[in-house]
Structure 1
Amino acid sequence: MFKFLKDVNREMQKVSWPKGNELTKYTIIVILTVLAISVFFTVVDLGITQILEWL
């Protein structure tokens, strides 16, 4: 188990963590993408509901 934890620690040191500016930019991109997809699916859902009501 200790060997595993040492290996994990060694691998985590190789990870390239984003800087503050990058993290902010990526967070904004993710939030905007989620909002855009939510709006898209809301419009599609409303459209399908309207079509089914007409039938």
Structure 2
Amino acid sequence: MGRIVKFFREVGREMKKVSWPTKKELTKYTITVIVVVLFFTLFFTVVDLGISELIRLILE
């Protein structure tokens, strides 16, 4: 039981050392992630459609 208590105390100490992002930074990072995900979604959709169409042309 003492090991578990010690573990959680150490976790608490380490969490106080964490450098948390500001609200402005968090908003910026969130928007960046959403834009990148949307870009790659669009990119892979176009690539998938292109490959599918190429395969259809070859098989016909």
Give the TM bin, normalised by the shorter chain: over 0.9
Superposition misfits of 4+ residues, deviation over 3 angstroms: none
Structure showing greater radius of gyration is 2
Partner of 1:31: 34
TM-score normalised to the size of structure 1?
0.98
| Superposition TM-score, scaled by structure 2 size | 0.90
Looking at structure 1, the residues matched to 39 and 16 of structure 2 have their Cα atoms a distance apart, in angstroms, of 35
Aligned length, in residue pairs: 55
Percentage identity across aligned positions? 56
Q: 1:27: Cα distance to partner?
A: 0.3
Ranges in structure 1 where 5+ consecutive residues have no aligned partner: none
